Amino acid sequence: MLFILVLLTSFLSILYLTAPSIRKFFAGGVCTTNVQIPGKVVVITGANTGIGKETARELARRGARVYIACRDVLKGESAASEIRADTKNSQVLVRKLDLSDTKSIRAFAESFLAEEKKLHILINNAGVMMCPYSKTTDGFETHFGVNHLGHFLLTYLLLERLKESAPARVVNLSSIAHLIGKIRFHDLQGQKRYCSAFAYGHSKLANLLFTRELAKRLQGTGVTAYAVHPGVVLSEITRNSYLLCLLWRLFSPFFKSTSQGAQTSLHCALAEDLEPLSGKYFSDCKRMWVSSRARNKKTAERLWNVSCELLGIQWE
C-alpha cells in the first residue's frame, strides 16, 4: 500500500513538473493572419469574461468597434475598461443581453440596430455548462434555451444588418461535447429525462446543426458561418458544477489559457479566403471532423423549423 502511495505521489509530481511542456503541446493552433479591421463592427456575446473577453481584446487591438453583449453589465464595463486601456481603442462598448430571456434579446437587437448601421462579425460565444435542471424565462431548458435558441434568435434579428454589411461572418462556439449530443425532438426541454452533461452536449450539437443550415441558407448573400471548438480552456464556464470546478482546478496546469482558447474564434472571424468553408467546424484553427449526427441534413432542417416555432418567428 505504501509502495503504491509513493508511486502515485511520484507520478503526480512528475506530471506537474512537466505541466508547462504538456500545456504547450496541447495549446493548439494560433490565428496567424495579420489582417487589421479598422471601421469594422463586431458583436460578441458573453465577452465580459473568458474566451469572449480575449476575443474582444484582440479584435479591438486590430481596430474594430467591439460590442460586449452580456448579462452582467458591471462585469462587462470592467472588462471593456481593461480592454480599452490595453489596446488604446476607445470603441469597446457594453450592452445588456440576457440570452435566457427573449425580451432581453429583442431589446438588445432593437437598440443595436438603432445605434449601428453596420455589423461585420457576430460571435455567438456565450454559454452555460452542466447546470442543474432549470428553465429560461420563456420556459426552455436552460442549455437548449441559452446555448442554442438564444443565439438562434439573436442571429435572426441581426441578419439583415449582416447582409447589408457583407462580406460578414457569424461564428458559433460549439464543442467537442457535441459527440455525446442527440437532438431528442420528443423531449427538447428535458422534462422526461435530464442529465446536465448530456443536455450540454445536445445544445452543442444544436450549435453545429444551426451553423450548417445557416450557411446553406446564406449562400450567395456574402454572409458566411462557422462553428468552433475552442478546446479545454481554463474559464468560468464550469461555474454551475462543483465537480467540474474541482476538476478544472486540479488539472488547470494542463488546460488552455483563455487567450489560447480564443484563437480558433479569431481564425474564423479573420482568416482570409475562408468563405468556401462556410458551415464547417473548426478546432485549433483548422477544419475538424464532426459526428454523423452533426452532418444530418434532415435533422438540421427539422431543428431549424422547430426552433422557429418555439420562438414564434418566420425565417425562410
Note the Cα 126 to chain centre separation in Å: 5
Tell me if residue 200 is catalytic: yes
Q: Which residues pair with 95 in a beta bridge?
A: 69
Give the span between the Cα atoms of 180 and 148, in whole angstroms. Answer: 16
Residue 309 CA to residue 312 CA, distance in Å, equals 5
Q: Identify whether the C-beta of residue 280 lies closer than 8 Å to the C-beta of residue 287.
A: yes
Task: Find the catalytic residue in 67, 156, 200, 226.
Answer: 200
Cβ pair 120, 66 in contact under 8 A: no
Peptide bond into 167 cis (omega under 30): yes
Q: Using alpha carbons only, what angle is made at residue 92 by residues 256 and 83, rounded to the nearest 5 degrees? A: 45
Residue 182 contacts by C-beta under 8 Å, 6 or more apart in sequence? 198, 201, 202, 205, 293
How many C-beta neighbours within 10 Å does residue 92 have? 27
- For the chain, report the end-to-end CA distance as a whole number of angstroms: 66
Burial code (b: 16+ CB inside 10 Å, e: under 16) for 143-157 equals bbbbbbbbbbbbbbb
Cell numbers that stand for 129 in this block:
455548462
Q: Quick check: 68 and 48 in contact, CB under 8 A?
A: yes
As a whole number of angstroms, the longest Cα–Cα distance in the chain is 69
Q: How many CB atoms lie within 10 A of CB 181?
A: 24
Q: Are 48 and 284 in contact (CB under 8 A)?
A: no
Report the C-alpha gap between 228 and 231 in whole angstroms.
9
Residues known to be catalytic = 200
